[in-house]
Amino acid sequence: MVQKAKILLVDDRPENLLALEAILSALDQTLVRASSGEEALKALLTDDFAVILLDVQMPGMDGFETAAHIKRRERTRDIPIIFLTAINHGPHHTFRGYAAGAVDYISKPFDPWVLRAKVSVFVDLYMKNCQLREQAALLRLQLEQGVPDGTGSGSREPAGLIAELSARLAAVEEQAEALSKQLDESADAAAVATAAHLERKLTGLRRALDALEPGDGGAVRQSAPE
């Protein structure tokens, strides 16, 4: 069963949260509600999220302050934030949103199709990163348990494991390539940059796998990605 991505919806108005859920339900991901900045920060302590939709105008801790807290935490600083606002105070207000770490800034009422498409891109990138982490974890496990230690006591033959890893990585590489092709010149700069980062990580993992291929004497060069 494929693990669903979590999307954090932050708005102090229940009707707005309900509208966001109606728009994003077609993505078939896990939607998590937060009615304040404090509640959002609490949710981020325990769960991983693909993207955060954050209302700017909230009583108490507003969206800008909430985003600042999110970006200061090592665990959450890389989560994309899309600001939603019902007011428009001009370029300065928009600039403040980007300065707070937002990858996009959308004014209400927004086009449901556009919002869903933007969120979908970040969900896809998140899922590819999750797959990549799984491949890296499997590679490290293979290094720790499957590679012979030179004494003939290796518990498993490495060739089969390396072949399996290579096949799984190839599937992720194919999906990442397809995703990159979807990101044309009109795509968000942050999405394009995130996709490029994912491709670099895939390249590093592929090189590590290549280094694990048995050499002339059947030995395996132990090299793993950072």
| Residue 131: per-residue pLDDT | 80
| Residue 221: per-residue pLDDT | 44
Question: Considering the domain boundaries, does residue 159 fall inside one?
Answer: yes
C-alpha distances (whole Å) from 47 to each of 40, 50, 78 are 11, 10, 14
| Domain end marker among 110, 141, 164 | 110
10 shares its domain with 100: yes
pTM: 0.66
Task: Write out the two tokens for 195.
Answer: 């996709």
Question: Considering the domain boundaries, does residue 115 fall inside one?
Answer: no
90 shares its domain with 67: yes
77 shares its domain with 125: no
| Residue 88: per-residue pLDDT | 61
How many other CB atoms sit within 10 Å of the CB of residue 83?
25
Work out how many domains the chain is built from and give that number.
2
| Domain end marker among 67, 83, 110 | 110
129 shares its domain with 194: yes
Residue 45 sits in a domain of what CATH number? 3.40.50.2300
59 shares its domain with 148: no
96 shares its domain with 154: no
Tens place of pLDDT for every residue, the chain, 226 residues? 568 999 999 999 999 999 999 999 999 999 999 999 999 999 999 999 999 999 988 998 988 899 999 999 988 988 999 988 876 655 556 666 666 667 788 888 888 998 999 899 899 888 888 887 777 777 777 666 655 444 444 444 556 666 766 777 776 777 767 666 666 544 566 666 666 667 777 777 777 767 666 554 444 444 444 4
Question: Considering the domain boundaries, does residue 152 fall inside one?
Answer: yes
181 shares its domain with 199: yes
11 shares its domain with 105: yes
Quote the distance between the C-alpha of residue 53 and its chain's center.
Answer: 14
124 shares its domain with 74: no
- Domain span at residue 151 reads 120-212
| Residue 125: per-residue pLDDT | 86
Identity of residue 68 = A
For 150-161, give the DSSP string.
Answer: SSS--SS-HHHH
23 shares its domain with 96: yes
